């Protein structure tokens, strides 16, 4: 019993310290489908732009990799928090669920669930919370590829990887370094992703689409 109390005390101290470090800008929770590729990329952005980890929390989904499980975990983590991770319940202003189309059966259900939660949850300041799906068709790498070439037609995720490796030799999922390798072309990629978003959206599968430019733009301008 004594050990349990000590562990709980340590967790509470970590949580209190994390809360104290928070900056004045928005508190953002990001839950990803992947356990390495997306978290590493987003953490690279957070570090490069000196965003407090107390303000920007990136967590891989813990209920499974299906899109609906990613959205449900994002909702659960927001509502219940996780003391072990130093996350208090309802301690965010915005929540993002990052997942791919791939061949997931629950993809459209996940989009609809995220949409239904947007503005419906309240945070610890009793303010409505932005809840958004950040989807990519067919995969996360569809966001990286436009840094070097324009995509206008449906493309299989395997072809995306083949082409991406031509621009980033040795690129592998989960290897890290993707933001460093592509950041010089970020403006071009954002423009191309915006152009795609004017023609297609997360529901127009199999047309190429990614909303990652929205999340990346948010993170890279959060302290502006």
What is residue 160's predicted lDDT score, i.e. its pLDDT?
97
**pLDDT tens-digit map of 55-93:** 999 999 999 999 999 999 999 999 999 989 999 999 999
User: In the structure encoding, which two tokens stand for residue 192, read together?
Assistant: 């191309």
132 touches 95 (CB < 8 A): yes
| Residue-range domain boundaries for the chain | 2-220
Question: What is the 3-state composition of the chain as percent helix, strand, coil, each rounded to the nearest 5?
Answer: 50, 15, 40
What is residue 11's predicted lDDT score, i.e. its pLDDT?
56
User: In the structure encoding, which two tokens stand for residue 158, read together?
Assistant: 């395997």
Q: Write out the E strands in 25-163.
A: 28-32, 56-60, 94-100, 130-137
User: In the structure encoding, which two tokens stand for residue 25, read together?
Assistant: 């800008």
- Answer yes or no: is pLDDT of 19 > 60: no
At residue 25 the predicted structure's pLDDT band, cuts being 50, 70 and 90, is: confident
What is residue 224's predicted lDDT score, i.e. its pLDDT?
72
User: How many helices (H) does the chain have, and how many strands (E)?
Assistant: 9, 5
**pLDDT tens-digit map of 178-221:** 999 999 999 999 999 999 999 999 999 999 999 999 999 999 99
At residue 3 the predicted structure's pLDDT band, cuts being 50, 70 and 90, is: low
What is residue 20's predicted lDDT score, i.e. its pLDDT?
45
């Amino acid at each position: 019993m004594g050990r349990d109390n000590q562990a709980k005390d340590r967790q509470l101290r970590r949580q209190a310290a994390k809360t104290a470090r928070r900056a004045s800008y928005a508190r953002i929770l990001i839950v990803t489908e992947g356990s390495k590729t997306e978290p590493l990329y987003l953490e690279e952005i957070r570090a490069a732009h000196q965003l407090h980890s107390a303000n920007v929390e990136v967590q891989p989904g813990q209920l499974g990799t299906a899109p609906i499980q990613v959205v449900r975990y994002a909702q659960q983590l927001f509502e219940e928090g996780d003391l072990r991770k130093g996350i208090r319940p309802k301690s965010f202003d915005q929540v993002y669920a990052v997942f791919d189309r791939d061949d997931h059966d629950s993809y459209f259900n996940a989009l609809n669930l995220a949409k239904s939660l947007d503005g419906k949850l309240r945070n610890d300041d009793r303010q409505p919370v932005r809840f958004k799906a950040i989807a990519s068709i067919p995969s996360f790498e569809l966001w990286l590829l436009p840094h070097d070439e324009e995509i206008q037609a449906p493309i299989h995720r395997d072809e995306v990887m083949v082409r991406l490796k031509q621009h980033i030799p040795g690129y592998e999922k989960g290897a890290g370094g993707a933001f460093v390798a592509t950041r010089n072309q970020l403006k071009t990629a954002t423009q191309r992703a915006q152009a795609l978003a004017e023609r297609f959206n997360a529901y127009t599968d199999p047309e190429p689409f990614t909303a990652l430019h929205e999340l990346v733009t948010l993170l890279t301008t959060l302290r502006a």
